Amino acid sequence: MATALTVACRSHDTQWLNRGGSLVAALAAVAVYFQIHREINLEAERQRLEASTRAQLEAAEHATPLAQAAQRLEAQRRERQGKALTAERVRIGLAVAVCAFIGECLHGFGDVILEAVMRWLGK
């Protein structure tokens, strides 16, 4: 975007900002692929954590009270890890959505915004 803004200002052709917005939107579309790939990995990790927690809970039924307490602490740690994985999924989705939003706004209105800013600055 910085390059598109620089070219638009130097060439006095505000359409370059629109083109930069199109590029950002296109990159956001490519980022969806990487988001899906990361989501698959996060889901596999979540399933592994759930399976491990179930196995430990089953083993805890026959354990000593001290071992049961340790296993409950481990289960709580795994639950926090699961919540962290969910939060990472949300962050990834939000980043992709914000990039697409900014790109599309600039693609549609970049020239208008830049012309208004240039008039405001007196250039």
- Give the distance, in angstroms, between the CA of residue 88 and the centroid of all CA atoms in the same chain: 7
Q: What integer is the mean pLDDT of 53-62?
A: 70
Q: What is the pLDDT of residue 76?
A: 83
Closest by Cα among 15, 38, 11 to 114 = 15
Q: What is the pLDDT of residue 71?
A: 77
Amino acid identity of residue 30, one-letter, is V
Closest by Cα among 40, 42, 49, 3 to 23 = 3
* Residue 122 φ then ψ, to 5°: 80, 25
Q: pLDDT tens for residues 70-88?
A: 777 877 887 888 788 778 8
Contact 57/78 with Cβ under 8 angstroms?
no
**60 pLDDT tier (thresholds 50, 70, 90):** low
Q: pLDDT tens for residues 4-55?
A: 778 777 888 877 878 888 888 888 878 888 888 888 887 888 788 778 777 7
Domain that holds residue 62: 2-121
Q: How many folded domains does the chain comprise? A: 1
